[in-house]
Amino acid sequence: MSRVKEICTSTKIVEAFDSRGGCVEDLGGYNDVTGGVAGVILAAAAAVPCSGGVAAGYNRPKARETLFVPMAEDAIGTAPQQPGSEILLQDSSCELPIKFAVAGDLGQTGWTNSTLSHISGYPHDILLLAGDLSYADFYQPRWDSFARLVEPLASSRPWMVTQGNHEIESIPFLEAKPFKPYNARWHMPFEESASPSNLFYSFNAAGGAVHVIMLGSYADFGTGSDQFRWLRADLCSLDRAKTPWLIAIIHAPWYNSNEAHQGEGEAMRTALEDVLYGARVDMVFAGHVHAYERFSRVYNNKEEECGAVHITVGDGGNREGLARDYLQPPPGISLFREASFGHGRLDVVNFTHALWEWHRNDDDEPVVADSVWITSHAANPACLKK
Residues in contact with Fe ion by CB under 5 A are 132, 164-165, 288
| Dist. CA 294–CA 358, nearest whole Å | 10
Half-sphere exposure at residue 253, Cβ-oriented, CA atoms within 13 angstroms: 33
Query: Of 124, 135, 131, 190, which Cα lies nearest the Cα of 158?
Result: 124
In terms of Cβ atoms closer than 10 Å to its own Cβ (0-12, 13-18, 19+), residue 95 is exposed
377 is catalytic: no
* Minimum CB distance to Fe ion smaller for 13 or for 252: 252
- Nearer residue to Fe ion within complex by CB, 21 or 104: 104
Tell me the C-alpha distance between 381 and 232, whole Å: 22
HEC readout, 147-215: HHHHHHHHCCCCEEECCCHHHCCCECCCECCCCHHHHHHCCCCCHHHCCCCCCCEEEEEHHHCEEEEEC
Of 124, 166, 251, 261, which one is the catalytic site residue? 261
Q: Which residue number has the CB closest to Fe ion?
A: 288
Q: How far is the CB of 288 from Fe ion (least distance, A)?
A: 4
* Residue 292 near residue 340, CB atoms below 8 Å: yes
Cα–Cα–Cα angle for 5, 13, 376, rounded to 5 degrees? 130
Reading across the β-sheet that carries 159-161, which strands appear in turn? 159-161, 126-129, 98-103, 342-348, 353-360, 370-375
DSSP-assigned letters across all residues of 284-330: EEE-SSSSEEEEEEEETTEE-TTSEEEEEE--S--TT-----B-SSP
Neighbour-count burial of 336, counting CB atoms closer than 10 A to its CB (0-12 exposed, 13-18 middle, 19+ buried): middle
Per the CB < 8 A criterion, the answer to whether 250 and 202 are in contact is no
Question: Residues 334, 260: contact at Cβ < 8 Å?
Answer: no
Least Cα distance to 252 among 72, 130, 77 occurs for 130
- Which active-site residues does the annotation give? 261
